[in-house]
């Protein structure tokens, strides 16, 4: 199968692989995670803690975000950490907690797989499998989740070009799985005041190049809790199909990423604001 040079968009000269390229009708593919549809006129909010830490932490967070309008629950059981001595996640114990709270709240679960050997296990519990930034070019892993039959949330590498991002998605689609959501989560630049530089222009760019839904992660995109609301609002305005955010019932004691997690009250307030922006751009958040 061949790749094509994109002629769709003036002044953008990048290669677009076959399966991720725009469809003839320019329609966005609807990715279905249980009953939730991503890629339509509803802006889907995904929320939850960086890592599953305990029943109390996970359940109280999940109940609260559900009430405020989140449609999926995120939470890591296997955590990729820069240091081998940092908390690496609860493993299968964490997956079981996720399954339990789904039973109660009916929120579909998105959680990360880091190793080809984990995909089978994670598939048993998760409704959508996340591939993290550091694994965007882990090709064996991309193929494995492509074969899993599960919807996939693919995060952009922090120094990946748009072209590379699309080719990584193609690895998944080439295995017969077109249920892929692309997530921009900040790229690495010279700027150091933020953890990463959130590339919001990736949303309109990707929407001109691919039929896959595109969402934004303002938590990793800034690394700063107080900045998340402003960036989340911008994400809705720029046309994102959804937002994934870190929310924690008690960020001050979080085992990871507490400095960039909203607390429950902040999330509630933000949802009110996001609904207004969604309406202003002709979409909605239910």
Q: Smallest distance from the beta carbon of 175 to a second copy, in angstroms?
A: 9
Q: Smallest distance from the beta carbon of 238 to a second copy, in angstroms?
A: 4
Region from 40-48, 65-73, 103-111, 269-277 binding a second copy, contact rule CB under 8 A: 269-277
User: Which residues, 102 to 121, sit near a second copy by CB under 8 A?
Assistant: 114-118
How do beta strands 242-246 and 44-48 pair? parallel
Q: Identify the helix (H) or strand (E) that includes residue 92.
A: helix 92-105
**For a second copy, the closer CB: 60 or 123:** 123
User: Which residues, 61 to 100, sit near a second copy by CB under 8 A?
Assistant: 80-85
Q: What is the 3-state secondary structure (H, E, C) of 236-285?
A: HHHCCCEEEEEECCCHHHCCCCHHHCECHHHHHHHHHHHHHHHHHCCCEC
Q: Smallest distance from the beta carbon of 208 to a second copy, in angstroms?
A: 7
User: Which residues, 219 to 238, sit near a second copy by CB under 8 A?
Assistant: 221-227, 230-231, 233-238
Q: Smallest distance from the beta carbon of 154 to a second copy, in angstroms?
A: 14
Q: Smallest distance from the beta carbon of 250 to a second copy, in angstroms?
A: 16
Q: Show the binding pattern over residues 118-147: x = contacts a second copy (CB under 8 A), - = does not.
A: x---------------xx-xxxxx-x----
User: Which residues, 175 to 214, sit near a second copy by CB under 8 A?
Assistant: 187-194, 197-201, 203-205, 208
* Dihedral-angle region of residue 69 (phi above 0 means left; psi in -120 to 50 means alpha; beta otherwise): left
26 binds a second copy (CB under 8 A): no
10 binds a second copy (CB under 8 A): yes
**For a second copy, the closer CB: 145 or 205:** 205
44 binds a second copy (CB under 8 A): no
Alpha-carbon span 4 to 130, nearest angstrom: 28
Long-range contacts of 229-235 (CB under 8 A, 24+ apart): 229/262, 229/266, 229/269, 229/270, 229/273, 231/198, 231/200, 232/270, 232/274, 233/273, 233/274, 233/277, 234/200, 235/200, 235/203
Give the tokens for residue 282.
Answer: 């002709």
Alpha-carbon span 93 to 54, nearest angstrom: 9
159 binds a second copy (CB under 8 A): yes
> Site for a second copy (CB under 8 A): how many residues?
80
CA 277 to chain centre: 20
How do beta strands 180-184 and 214-216 pair? parallel
Q: Smallest distance from the beta carbon of 278 to a second copy, in angstroms?
A: 9
**For a second copy, the closer CB: 118 or 179:** 118
């Amino acid at each position: 199968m061949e790749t094509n040079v994109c002629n769709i968009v003036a002044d953008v000269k990048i290669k677009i692989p076959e399966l991720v390229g725009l469809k003839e009708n320019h329609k966005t593919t609807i990715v279905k995670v249980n009953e939730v549809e991503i890629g339509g006129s509803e802006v889907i909010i995904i929320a939850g803690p960086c890592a599953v830490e305990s029943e109390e932490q996970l359940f109280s967070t999940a109940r609260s975000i559900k009430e405020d309008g989140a449609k999926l629950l995120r939470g890591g059981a296997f955590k990729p950490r820069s240091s081998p001595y940092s908390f690496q996640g609860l493993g299968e114990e964490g997956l079981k907690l996720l399954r339990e709270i789904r039973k109660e709240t009916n929120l579909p679960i998105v959680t990360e797989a880091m190793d080809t050997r984990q995909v089978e296990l994670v598939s048993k519990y998760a409704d959508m499998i996340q591939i993290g930034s550091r694994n965007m070019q882990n090709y064996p892993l991309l193929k494995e989740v492509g074969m899993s039959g599960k919807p996939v949330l693919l995060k952009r590498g922090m120094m990946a070009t748009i072209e590379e991002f699309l080719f990584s998605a193609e690895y998944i689609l080439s295995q017969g799985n077109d249920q892929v959501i692309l997530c921009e989560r900040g790229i690495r630049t010279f700027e150091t005041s933020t953890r990463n530089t959130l590339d919001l222009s990736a949303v309109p760019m990707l929407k001109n190049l691919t039929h896959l839904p595109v969402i934004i992660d303002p938590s990793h995109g800034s690394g700063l809790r107080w900045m998340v609301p402003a960036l989340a609002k911008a994400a809705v305005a720029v046309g994102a199909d959804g937002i994934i955010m870190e929310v924690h019932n008690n960020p001050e004691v979080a085992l990871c990423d507490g400095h960039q997690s909203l607390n429950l009250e902040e999330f509630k307030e933000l949802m009110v604001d996001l609904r207004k922006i969604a309406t202003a751009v002709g979409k909605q958040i239910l």
